[in-house]
Amino acid sequence: MHGERDTHCSVLHCFAPTQRRHQVTVARGLTAAAVFTAFEIGLGVAFASPAGALAPPADGIYTFNQAGAPAATWKVSSLCDQVNGSRFYQDYANPIIQADFCAVNVVSYTESTIKREDKLQNFTGRARLTNGLWTFQVKQDAGVLCPDGSTAQSTETYAFDDETMTGTHTSLHGDVCGLQPAMRKEPFSLQFVAPLEPPVERYPLHCNDIAICY
């Protein structure tokens, strides 16, 4: 029994109860009025309240729209743990806790992969709820076009709101191929096209009230 209290494993992750309690404590603070703690000030981070409901977006096919970027299609599907599969939480209806038990899988693709710009739109990612936005990173080996025509790696971060389906694409690279470190931010939007066929089971594990899952 002691071993069960020390860790909890799920279809998404394993964690210690003390870690989860700390994460939820921080997450709950995001929904309150803006309060700056000594911890937040030390990190230089200000957390804002989420704009809308906290839940994974509807599974389906979406059109990705960003000015100056090739048209792309996102296949979006979510995988969640049952909140009552953890005996460490009492408020199973808390939307922040429910969302924290989910991950959003993204597969981005284009009709053509001939041009470098098209190739950069073909990737996979797994988004988690971060400061009220579904966020994931992609490492692009050819994300930076160097002056001599070669390429270098960049880090692409996508963060979007599940209610408005709009977000920000941040491209970041270091001191590579004679270029200074740089960061670029561009807004993007996602437009729902069709549901997934066949649909994906969002909750593959079924848990009873005493946290036994099968």
Instruction: Give the angle subtended at the CA of 97 by the CAs of 206 and 188, to the nearest 5°.
Output: 105
What is the model's pLDDT at position 11?
Answer: 54
pLDDT of residue 51: 43
Q: Are 66 and 187 in contact (CB under 8 A)?
A: yes
Residue 57's CB is within 10 A of a number of other CB atoms, namely 20
Closest CA to 204 of 79, 87, 104, 75: 79
Take residue 161 and report the two structure tokens written for it.
Answer: 């709101």
Residue 116, H or E segment:
helix 116-119
Tens of pLDDT, residue by residue over 106-147, are 999 999 988 999 999 999 999 999 999 999 999 999 999 999
Q: Which helix (H) or strand (E) holds 167?
A: strand 166-173
d(CA 85, CA 82): 5
Is residue 12 scored above 70 in pLDDT? no
The answer to pTM > 0.75 is no
Q: Does domain 51-194 fall into CATH 3.30.720? A: no
Work out the average pLDDT over 168-193.
96
Percentage of the chain beyond pLDDT 70 is 64
Name the token pair of 109. Answer: 């693709």
Confidence bin at 204 (pLDDT 50/70/90)? confident
Q: What pLDDT sits at residue 81?
A: 78
Express the helix, strand and coil content of the chain in percent, nearest 5 each: 15, 40, 45
Q: Please write the tens of the pLDDT for every residue from 18-76.
A: 444 444 333 333 333 333 333 333 333 333 334 455 689 999 999 999 999 999 999 99
User: How confident is the model over 149-161, as a mean pLDDT?
Assistant: 96
3-class SS of residue 39? helix
